[in-house]
Amino acid sequence: MGITAESPDSLEGLQTASQDSAAAVTEKQVAAADLEKDQESQYGGGGAAGPAAAGAPDDVPTDYPTGWRLNVIILGLILAFFLSALDMSIIRTAAPSITTEFHSVADVGWYGSSFAITLAAFQSHWGKAYLYFPLKWSFLSSIFVFEVGSLVCGVAPSSAALIVGRAVQGAGAAGITGGCYTIASFIVPPARVPAITGLLGSVFTLASVAGPLLGGVFTSSVSWRWCFYINLPIGGVAFAALVFFFHTPEQSKTMVGKLSWRQMLEQFDPIGTTLLISSLVCFVLAMQWGGISKAWGSADVVGVLVGWFVMSVAFAVNEWFQGDKAFIVYRLLRNRDIAVCCGFIFFMMCGNQALYYNLPVYFQAIGGDSAMASGLKFIPTILCTSTVTFLTVVLIGKYNLYQPFLIAGAVLQTLRVGLYYLFDLDTGLGPIIGYQIIYGIGSGLGIQTAIAVGQTVSTVEDISMTLATIIFFQFGTGAYGVSSTNSVLDNILVQKLDVYVPQLTHAEVFTAGATGIQDQYSGATLLGIRMAFLEGVRASMVLACAFLGVSIFWSLAPKWPGRMERLASRRKGPGGQEGESSEMSTSDEKVNL
């Protein structure tokens, strides 16, 4: 799960270029027929910028797959994307049972964070792989890595082995998430890209909120290990579909074979990757140790916090000097739309990831639900989020603006977290369903907006890196959102256990696990433990609300109403020279260069 693109020049540069190229108007008119002929193919590589905006015909070029072949490719993408999104969430309801089996409540944060760290850390690598290597085989490699990680998780004999498997899964999922959106930009005409993006967005939200349900079913009916075994046959079908029916589009080969192996390896920024992973690991360790196994003022906790800060600063400095070789290409963030969406999605997902992991704790430890019953309570979220996500992406593509969706999504989600704070020991099913409807609408409005914006404003040369950057901010939040809110929950839980059940140590409760306490304790002791868990969950909601509150400020940052500028890719000019984009269009005007 790390986290537009404009032409290599900024928007201002393009406008200046339009003036400088006035003398070449006659020559461009001579080539007009040629440019028009391949206009749609070119824009198809650029993302969601529709043919109408570019002044291109809406005919489907011969290199676009059609009919049953296109349907099989889309099915393969859906299956792969579903699995990668599913494994971000399926462990939420399974985690309490895993901690009970391995006696590892202290490791619960790592089950999500290890996946999130590698999901973020390898986004840029896969984005560059899609640029410098054939798209088909790069994407299939990501599926293979994900499947290997799933197998390791399924057979894991210990908590440590499970964490390693989750890290491998995250590395593969990083390639799947960015790869699906990149491929979607090349397999259909640009007018249809928003529909494919909306479909993938619905699949993502469906998998994200269906994960707890499926995790609960597997955990209660068979074993939590089937949360990972299920990936093997489904992933195999996706792999086969793409092996036989998908071919690397010519439009995606702008940089394939252009650099030597040494030059390509230099693009992958190994120093930046090392610094990023090290900083995230330090942060997770600090959140895991602080106040639980070690005092916040201890040398170990202070040391890893200092290490996190130093390596984060070093990472930022390294990225600045790396330029286009960087893990995060700052040039892309000069585009206001992309910068705003990255900031928005980071804080939104920090809040969401926290809730995804802490709500099952409420349902199971406080409400006494089984893992399956806990998952069933997420059904309202499944229905609302998947429906609203699809409609939102389609509407963004149709009206070419996005800010209203950001604002509404951020406000509704912040409101929803405030309502969750009102949960008590015996909250009824009505409020639980009602609050999830609010969540589903708010999440659907915001969760895929950044991807839709990135596909719209990106050039063909930058689209894979643009999407990798957005996904880095979107999914790299797990290490921060999950770890920090889990730390708050655990610290408050430890404090309140001393108040409500002083006869127990927090180690005894942690060993029992969130599901085990219902079996091991009863009466006043169980009531005291539930009260301690409730206050811990409420405290974590406060931090989640703070994250989502910051996303409201980011939603106000675009220039109202967030109308997007669509930039064409650089292309071959009439004389066969590599030139700047042939035109720039917005919903209000088109500037011919």
Please tell me the distance from the alpha carbon of residue 252 to that of residue 245, in angstroms, as a whole number: 17
Write out pLDDT tens, residues 175-195.
998 899 889 888 888 778 878
The predicted structure's pLDDT at residue 10 = 36
Q: What percent of the chain has pLDDT over 70?
A: 82
Amino acid at 302: V
- Model confidence pLDDT, tens digit, residues 474-487: 877 767 888 888 88
**pLDDT grade for 256, boundaries at 50, 70 and 90:** low
For residue 404, pLDDT over 80 is answered with yes
Q: What is the b/e burial string over 361-400, where b = at least 16 CB atoms within 10 angstroms of the residue's CB? A: bbbbbbbebbbbbbbbbbebbbebbbbbbbbbbbbbbeeb
**pLDDT tens digits, one per residue of 202-215:** 888 778 767 877 88
Please state, as a whole number, how many other Cβ atoms lie within 10 Å of the Cβ of residue 242: 24
* Position 257 confidence tier, pLDDT thresholds 50, 70, 90: low
Alpha-helix runs per DSSP H in 290-335: 299-322, 330-333
Question: Which single residue is written with the structure tokens 């910068």?
Answer: 339
Other Cβ atoms within 10 Å of 30 Cβ, number: 10
| Domain 67-269+327-555 grouped into CATH 3.40.30.10 | no
Q: pLDDT tier at 500 (50, 70, 90 boundaries)?
A: very high
pLDDT digits (tens, 9 = 90+) for 451-471: 888 878 877 778 778 887 888
Q: Could you count the other beta carbons within 10 Å of the beta carbon of residue 54?
A: 21
**Average of per-residue pLDDT across 37-59:** 36
* Higher local confidence (pLDDT), 142 or 381: 142
How large is the average pLDDT for residues 16-40? Answer: 39
pLDDT tens-digit series, residues 59-90: 444 478 888 999 999 999 999 999 998 988 78
Pick from 11-25, 87-101, 102-116: least confident:
11-25
Q: Are 515 and 100 in contact (CB under 8 A)?
A: yes
pLDDT for residue 295 is more than 80: yes
Does a cis peptide bond (omega within 30 degrees of 0) precede residue 194?
no
Tell whether the model's pLDDT for residue 44 goes beyond 50: no
Q: Where are the chain's structural domains?
A: 67-269+327-555
Do residues 512 and 104 lie in contact, with contact meaning Cβ atoms separated by under 8 Å?
no
- pLDDT at residue 566 in the model: 58
CA distances from 159 to 230, 294, 360, 381, 474 (A): 20, 20, 20, 30, 27
- Note whether 130 and 138 are within 8 A (CB): yes
User: Among 161, 177, 223, which Cα is nearest to 83's?
Assistant: 177
pLDDT at 55 exceeding the cut of 50: no
Lookup result for tokens 């099913």? 429
**Of the ranges 376-380, 522-526, 566-570, which one carries the lowest mean pLDDT score?**
566-570
